[in-house]
Structure 1
Amino acid sequence: MNRAIVHIDMNTFFVSCERLTNSELNGIPLIIGGGDRGVVASCSYEARRFGVRSAMPIQMALRLCPQAKVMKGDMELYSRLSHEVTEIIQEKAPVAEKASIDEFYLDITGMDKFYGSYKWTDELSRRITKETGLPLTFALSVNKTVSKIGTGEGKQKQNLEIPEHLVQSFLNPLSVRKIPMVGDKTFQLLSRIGIRTIKTLSEMPAEALQRMIGQNGIELWKKANGIDNNPVEPYTERKSISTEHTFSQDTIDMDKLGRVILGMVEKLSYQLRSEQWLTSTVTVKIRYANFDTETKQCRVQYTSADHILTQAAMDLFGRLYQRRMRLRLIGVRFSGLVRGTYQIDLFNDTEEMLALYQAMDRMKNRYGFDAVMRCAGASFKPNTKNEILKRKTD
């Protein structure tokens, strides 16, 4: 039996959310982002016609489209509406995966026997739009890769159904950029040897791609040939991530305690960005030498940025640690998590700050977490004996 996999993409999600609350924003070029030196988190189709794109510096976007209205963005609104969409999908779909704050995969294999896969998905999409007011695009095909490419091709035009016998003819004329795992560097590498369309890529020997790109070369060849066996993974919302550090000897050394907090926050912030989470609540826990345990928490604007979360954690620790008694344990927890990519949370930060975080994360991804870190937190060396990493799910 052929699989039936749906990809749902909420169209210009942040923009659509803002327009729900303010109809005066309809039909105008709209940019969601932060500050004159910030970056574009999302933009309307009216702005895209001028060449504005996500992750573009705000100043460049305004040079391309000077009449655009720039808004800071409201992650609490976006999270609430995303949750409403999620609830509708989970109520109806047999298997659903929430890939991000505005993207979903559904496995409806076998639905054709009872109802019709495309008809069922179309009715679901109409219900979502009717109950939330948010527009969306969906594509139905045999796997996640083809469905995701399909929503990209169908946006502002039509929802697509791509049956198995039409998969290759659908993919062949498209640019290799359309494959989800192809970034700028991979595209430039392929372009230099004359590979610009998926058809050309699909005809290249898989072994040659592997020698040129590495293990990802095999995956790239499979996707170019419409092969993707990755399952739709049922969605469960994570509630929090946390880490605790137990000292080998109880301590009252404030400098040491500060370094440990900084190291823990940096580790958890990197995990947030790696897994595409944003947090809204920071909690600090301390345990005194006599085993008395105290916690304190605060709310922050949705973020995954080290410098914001470090400041919040240090402020909490200063308010929490009032007794001049040695500590045996300290912990940090991030909760109130929502899905979001790294660019989303930096509404108030500069292009330079965004570039710094991206460069640090690339080095950590390639060489490990300890490859680059702030000097103040470098002495924090988590290990299985003194650190407990907790992941709480529903």
Structure 2
Amino acid sequence: MQAANGKRGRIIFHIDCNSFFASCEVARDPSLKDEAVVVAGDPKERRGIVLAANYIAKQRFGIYTTMPLWEAKKKCPSLVVRKPNFSLYREMSQQVFAFLQRISPLLERASIDEGYLDVTEVSSSQHPLELAHHIQRGLLETLRIPVSIGIAPNKFLAKMASEMKKPLGITVLRKRDVPIVLWPLPVGQMHGVGDKTAEKLNAMGIVTIGDLAKAEETALQQKLGIYGLRLKERANGIDHSPVDPEAGEKWKSVGNSTTLPYDVTEEHVLFQVLRELAESVSVRMKQKRVVSTTIQLTIRYHNFQTITRSKTWDNPFQEAEEIFRYAAHLLKKHWNSEPIRLLGITALDVFDRKEAVKQLDLFHYEEEAKIEALWKTVEKLRKKFGDTAIQKGAALVEKEREQQN
């Protein structure tokens, strides 16, 4: 991997933990090593679905993520089912990244189970393939976590390479390999191209990654904006983005607080304020594409005494209704009935929503559909009658004050 000017080019690893949630369960209970294991909802519930499956379940029995649990059990009567344990997965993730940090300080966490490692300097004393085998063996021996590793001159190619052989694969992808290896693939298999983007590209006659690499830039920009040009660069194996150790630390928390117009003691008014704050936090979480499992409530009393209380729930959340419900729980539990002058809600330790796998079942789908329908109704009312149709917390506080005066 040499740069065109003769200097040593970058050497980037993409490390991807194989079937991470299921692998964590096997690591915790090594007796499951030769068993078909899935992570799913309550095994007593027929409506549960498979959230993760190890490679024995996948390759030997044809079980896949989102398969109904009853169907998975029909394919494999001896299937081992484990309920999701997010605290275990986060703890194991921290140990994986601590191991990688010892290899190179240039480590960027991409999600709970994958990251980029710039080993350019390290590789001056150890061949990249030897280093990759060392990482793979080390994680397997110390943590019992299998990983696939992509080796390339940039992050995009490293990510594509790590997908090519699973489990326990090590794949080198050079820029000169792109026309032969990547261009024949469907454009939907390209990292960074989601289903909707793939549909737009297909509608333009761009079916393969090769088509994208040769596409007209003006048409791409008109259809996808600047992102279309970036995708074309990557289809040609070009990606200048650095491995940024701070990238995964930029959004540790998302919160909002408000000082009330007067010291409030009415519980229903405080709840309205919490609803407004919850909606604000939810919008920002969605913009940043993050979720959380921990809510922190800040209460500042009339005498400026300030307390913060937090609680962690089992399932990741980002919807306003859930955030409000959890914040209201904390308010009921910790408010001492003294007048309040400030309230704040913060989602702590946020993480990429792609990491969030909930115990989905038909009931959960129905529940979320109802919430979605409610918010659509609210938006329709606001569009038809104006923003005051659904009053927010601050406005209600003012109205409450006027009624008292």
TM-score, normalising length: structure 2: 0.79
Does 2:333 correspond to 1:319? Answer: yes
Larger gyration radius, structure 1 or structure 2:
2
The code of the aligned residue for 1:41 comes to: L
Q: Which has the larger displacement, 113-122 or 77-86?
A: 113-122
CA shift at 1:338, angstroms? 5.5
CA shift at 1:51, angstroms? 5.5
Aligned equivalent of 1:183, options 181, 194, 198: 194
Does 2:97 correspond to 1:86? Answer: yes
Q: Distance in 2 between matches of 1:220 and 1:255?
A: 50
Cα distance change on mapping 1:361 and 1:119 into 2, 3 Å: farther
CA shift at 1:361, angstroms? 11
Aligned counterpart, 1:247: 260
Q: What is the count of residue pairs matched by the alignment?
A: 371
Q: How does 1:1-394 map to 2 (within 5 A)?
A: 1-35=8-42, 36-49=46-59, 52-54=63-65, 56=66, 58=68, 62=72, 65=75, 67=77, 68-156=79-167, 158-235=169-246, 237=249, 240-272=253-285, 275=288, 277-306=290-319, 307-323=321-337, 325-337=338-350, 341=354, 343-346=356-359, 350-353=364-367, 379-380=392-393
TM-score, normalising length: structure 1: 0.81
Report if the CA contact (8 A) 2:104-2:122 is conserved: no
Report if the CA contact (8 A) 1:304-1:342 is conserved: no
Q: Distance in 2 between matches of 1:123 and 1:361?
A: 51
Cα distance change on mapping 1:179 and 1:210 into 2, 3 Å: same
Q: Which has the larger displacement, 71-80 or 95-104?
A: 71-80
The code of the aligned residue for 1:313 comes to: A
Q: Distance in 1 between matches of 2:34 and 2:202?
A: 37
Report if the CA contact (8 A) 1:6-1:144 is conserved: yes
Q: Distance in 2 between matches of 1:292 and 1:213?
A: 51
Q: Which has the higher contact order (CA 8 A, sep 6+)?
A: 1
CA shift at 1:195, angstroms? 2.9
- Residues 77-130 of structure 1 show CA distances to partners (whole Å, capped at 9, x for unaligned) of 111111111111112213000111100101122444332233223212222222
CA shift at 1:39, angstroms? 4.6
Superposed CA RMSD in Å reads 3.5
Report if the CA contact (8 A) 2:299-2:307 is conserved: yes
Q: Distance in 2 between matches of 1:66 and 1:284?
A: 45
Q: Distance in 2 between matches of 1:223 and 1:359?
A: 38
Report if the CA contact (8 A) 2:146-2:167 is conserved: no
Cα distance change on mapping 1:186 and 1:298 into 2, 3 Å: closer
